[in-house]
Structure 1
Amino acid sequence: MVSRRALVVEGPEVGAVNGNWALVGARCVDVTDLNPAPTPEEVFRYFQTLPLPQLTTAVQPPGGTVLVGLPTIFYTDAPTEQVFTVDIRGFAVVITAVAQSFTWHTGAGDAVVTSDGPGAPYPDETVTFDYTSGSYSTYLTVTWGGTFTVDGSAPVDVAGTTTTDGPAVQLTAVEAHAVLTNPYD
């Protein structure tokens, strides 16, 4: 194996000024402008890719059979707020996703019921629908909005919303018939 080394003997000395450069002095430079904090629009792009939960629909009466003429109650008891920490270009960004609106697809044609909250079970029900006889597939679409902080800053609104669809729940609406009985039989 042959090793070749060259010794450069011509040129300026180490540390010497070469050309028209002049030493002005040393100073600190603020590099913030070179890497600005993430904007709401940039955070929104990350927000759209977060693994937001698909909220499940709870129905009363339970069991998949509901009664014609009796309001069917919808609600979800799944968490409606999620917190995520992401790294965006070296910044620690904490995104708080909050369910802002709920759209309950009843499965009865285009009929939907919307609410600002997750509904509630009986006796505090806030989301109901009256079915006619038949079979239905219902599910919940949640619109998520949120805020974010960058390296512990004050919260800022994310620049948009995104939606998730929950799993379908199958319902059968039946009619109840009154039957008179003699309590003395």
Structure 2
Amino acid sequence: MKRSIVATVAALLLTLIPTLAKADCIGFCPAPPTTSVGDGAVSVAYMTGAPGDTARTAFAAQAAPVPYRWRLLTPCQVDDTNLGGCQGGQPICAQLPGRIIVLYEVQRQRVVQPDRAPVDGIAPDPAAPVGQGYGGWANEGSSCVDVTDLNPPPSPDEVFRYFQTLPLPQLTTRQQPPGEALVGLPVIFFTDSPTAQTFTVDIRGFTVVITATATSYAWDTGDGTVLTTTDPGAPYPDQTITHDYSSGTYTASLTTTWGATYAVDGGVQADVPGTTTTQGAPVTFTVLQARTVLTDPYD
């Protein structure tokens, strides 16, 4: 009889959880959500929705004891549990103003109930404390999860969105010889602008250090050719990027592709999942045809 009353009250509370999920804890309270490199799991006290739902909501505290606790892993963490490497091709979650919505693999684990009743027909160890998880983690599949209540550290995709807005350097195109060149003598291209820069940004109260590095260079020579290199070139006599021209006037420019790494609150560095580009100011020069002229040596 007593167990029946408890079950009835528990069922009633469960119907109220979506409304009360942000209230103070009732019963046991789990540890605050944490993240780390490696397993990288975000701890979750309560999840709305059901397995297979495309959109779910995660809460840091629950209004009453529930049968499970959850953890969230990004697809990158599932692909590579040590380094968080991504395989790519993951769905993109729609964003809402003022909300943090991230694609996660949702996993759940049974929790020891106050009345020690079995969950999914499996009873906990008699010595296990109330509120502790038991059994393995079950995978509920991928969902776009609203984790605003958890205030998790910035996700790689969130950092990438900031990275795209940074005032990255527009590398200057240098050309030798300057101003005018001669047909038959290759024109040398290089840039002497900084090819790395560090930015410190605040993302939702987290200090994120983003280190941007130029990863490739596309030299538009102005005559229909684009030279792609992984080095910034060098001036004479150490030149590595050259191009032959016929006579005429040309305008060359440089497009730089930037990649980056980032660290949150002094933590381990990780790759920003994407690149961005900057366009430098163009340079215009003339290529002249040298002609042989016979002269009288006695003039």
Q: TM-score range by the shorter chain?
A: 0.7 to 0.9
Q: Does 1:133 find its partner at 2:247?
A: yes
Paired residue for 2:191? 76
What is the percent sequence identity of the aligned residues?
A: 62
The 5 A counterparts of 1:141-160 are 141-160=255-274
Corresponding residue to 2:228 among 110, 114, 123: 114
Choose 1 or 2 for highest CA Rg: 1
Provide the residue aligned with 1:42 in structure 2: 158
Match of 1:167, SS? coil
Task: Indicate the residue corresponding to 2:32 in structure 1.
Answer: 30
Unaligned ranges ≥5, structure 1: 1-22
The answer to whether 1:58 aligns with 2:60 is no
Amino acid at match of 2:286: T
Aligned to 1:92: 207
Cα distance change, pair 48–181 in 1 and its aligned pair in 2 (3 A): same
**Residue 184 (structure 1) shift:** 6.6
Instruction: Number of aligned residue pairs: give it.
Output: 161
1:21-65, Cα deviation, whole Å (9 max, x unpaired): xx9778674144512111111100000000001100111101x21
Name whichever structure is richer in helix by fraction: 2
1:4 aligned residue: none
Q: Distance in 2 between matches of 1:183 and 1:55?
A: 49
Q: Please give the TM-score of this superposition, normalised by the length of structure 2.
A: 0.51
Q: Distance in 1 between matches of 2:263 and 2:208?
A: 6
Q: Please state whether the residue corresponding to 2:212 is helix, strand or coil.
A: strand
Q: Secondary structure at the match of 2:286?
A: strand
User: Are residue 176 (structure 1) and residue 178 (structure 2) matched?
Assistant: no
Structure 2 gaps of 5+ residues are 1-24, 35-41, 43-149
Kindly provide the amino acid, as one letter, of the partner of residue 123 in structure 1: P
Aligned residues: CA RMSD: 2.1
Give the Cα separation in 2 of the matches to 1:127 and 1:60. Answer: 11
Quick one: distance in 2 between partners of 1:171 and 1:95? 37
Instruction: Give the partner amino acid of 1:94.
Output: V
Residue identity in the other structure for 2:166: L
Q: Secondary structure at the match of 1:97?
A: strand
Deviations along 1:96-135, whole A, 9 cap, x unmatched? Answer: 00000001001102x1111101000011100001011111
C-alpha separation in 1, matches of 2:195 and 2:295: 47
Q: Bigger CA drift: 70-79 or 172-181?
A: 172-181
Tell me which amino acid in the other structure corresponds to 2:247. Answer: S
Q: Which amino acid aligns with 1:159?
A: P
Q: CA–CA distance in 1 between the matches of 2:164 and 2:27?
A: 47
